[in-house]
Structure 1
């Protein structure tokens, strides 16, 4: 059997790319010969270093995307609907597109060739179903939860996510400003992520952080990332801050893979109550949710000053993270493709 994978954003090496490359790996393990359509085979080395996904048995082809001749196509949409001609066709959405004329006649015709529409969260699903008139399935992203373990914890708050000041801005600037105002004695903030889309943004963040116990790390290897998570006590997010998520859902965190990674390493998530984050974190059970700067400061200080609450939430976070394992993902994908 032959499967093809298409991801137009593969070189960003973010959470969405982990999703797509895990699809490739799972299909390969299920007996498929897998082709990934990408122009530069050097991406294989970067996938191994940054995402820790083995792609040695996956073929990366520079050919222009063509779905004919395949038993299965798994296609990541950029908002458009492709015309797919494989025996089975799966269309995947990771962004809650809206206002793109999704129900126009041509799209309805193309969707007749699609066997399944898959979203990465119920948050994304709500907007995709409304926009395109479909009933999509949700398969939560795969997280390598077994790769992350708590180490000797330090007084460290961490955020992990790509650097960009474009559509998917993670609002690292807000986290830096809030941390500076808090003036927490003997604590450090670490901001980590890929900078392929945001080198100027990183330079600006470094200026904002100058003179404070704030470290900004770009393009870490996977082993380094594991170490950072293992040391940190608290995980922050702010994507979607100041945004009306009903009007601009694309500016939120649509799921939150790095939140789950951090939880599996024993970090307590204190994350913004936007997008897909509430599907991962339950208030007071396995983490904390915030909606204002004041609430983020208050809840962070609360667990800093209450070791027993931090420990309870840390253990619960590790347990919850297992719900998003790669094993679970491959099982759900297999049921979809059988």
Structure 2
């Protein structure tokens, strides 16, 4: 099977849930004998050359490194490349990830018999960083996905319910699973270089964008009565530089550190050393950050949006009312005072994630969607052939 991937920034994954999703998924698909070409942004890979990452051919193409236009320009050019006949053989599957890139999901119908699959990782138009025009484009991407995709995948049951309730469209629920963190320093020297003590700090991990609500966590932390815990804010901006700079100017202190974006062993060390990982988001698809922390036996606190409620049910973590600073502050204070209870929650969470979220199963489920789309295509082709003979 020949598969083209549109919508990921590139590989190796540096930041972004979609990139980590693709980094886990597609090398495993390659191992099963399939060919995968991932069309990447040159602004992300730093190159215009073709590379191979764990068996996946990464094809970097020009893109506009401007707010909102980078993703669209790369997705447009990548889609054109899949249908222009440059390849030795046409693609069997063209897989779009996210609603923005799905704006171009109808183009393959113009010149190929490739089957189109769309994975929705979240309702991107609901993210606070986008203005009116960007929201309209993302909404149109959603409509085009519904119109042109041969099949759709949702990474959470909430997203699956959304498409069924809103459009009466069936989708396949195939969740994310946690990636494995790199080996890290058991002495936590990097953590301590920031003035942090293992098990004595909260950590926020994610892009510094409004919908992930780092501002809410920062405000809640500032009102805590304790004095010996600190807060680490880990992540870079994403078309949100002004917002990120505002947070740093308003909250940077001896008790709050902004590490910027971390990867590899340094990221693993900061997460593993945390006493509590906090995800206060207003909007999420299936948060890999949460799954990975749970997999690492790190206690978690999250806003009570529906996807978080399902992940942390049955005592697998703490929840607070989304958007409520006081509720978040109360949970942080409780966590400081109940380390033994947190440890029990973390172990229950680890066992749940390892039992339910498995990349090998996700690969098989994804390949089954591909096979189904190709089977329907063959059936339709046979019907058309028979009709032409009548």
TM-score by length of 1: 0.80
Separation in structure 2 between the aligned mates of residue 281 and residue 146 of structure 1, nearest angstrom: 21
Match of 1:217 among 259, 265, 282: 259
Unpaired segments ≥5 residues, structure 2: 62-76, 84-89, 127-135, 188-197, 372-390
Alignment correspondent of 2:351: 319
CA contact (8 A) 1:2 1:72 kept: yes
> Radius of gyration: which is bigger?
2
2:336 & 2:142 partners in 1: Cα distance?
49
Greater relative contact order, per chain length (Cα 8 Å cut-off, separation 6+): 1
Q: Does 1:5 align with 2:5?
A: yes
In 2 relative to 1, CA 128–44 (structure 1 residues): closer, same or farther, beyond 3 Å? farther
8 Å contact kept, 2:92–2:113: yes
Per the alignment, residue 386 of structure 2 pairs with none
Give 1:119 deviation, angstroms.
0.8
Provide closer, same or farther for how the CA distance between residues 17 and 86 of structure 1 changes in structure 2, counting only shifts above 3 A.
farther
CA contact (8 A) 1:163 1:197 kept: no
Shift of 1:295: 2.8
Runs of 4+ in 1 over 4 A off after TM superposition: 8-12, 101-104, 145-153
**Which deviations, in whole Å up to 9, do the C-alpha atoms of 1:147-192 show, x marking residues without a partner?**
5899674211111011224xxx311111111001014221011111
Give the drift of 1:136. 0.6
Structure with the higher fraction of residues in helix conformation: 2
1:276 aligns with 2:307: yes
1:290: which partner in 2? 320
Deviations 1:17-42 (A, max 9, x none): 22233332232122111111224296
Q: Structure 1: give runs of 5+ residues left out of the alignment.
A: 46-53, 241-251
> What's 2:155 paired with?
120
Is residue 336 of structure 2 the alignment partner of residue 304 of structure 1?
yes
Number of equivalences: 311
**3-state DSSP of counterpart to 1:236:** strand
- Residue of 192, 195, 204 corresponding to 1:159: 204
Q: What's the TM-score once normalised by structure 2's chain length?
A: 0.71
Whole-angstrom distance in 2 between the partners of 1:146 and 1:9: 20
Q: CA offsets per residue over residues 234-278 of structure 1, 9 Å max, x none? A: 1112111xxxxxxxxxxx122211011111222211110014212
Summarize the alignment of residues 80-91 of structure 1 with structure 2, pairs less than 5 Å apart. Answer: 80=103, 82-83=105-106, 84=108, 85-91=112-118
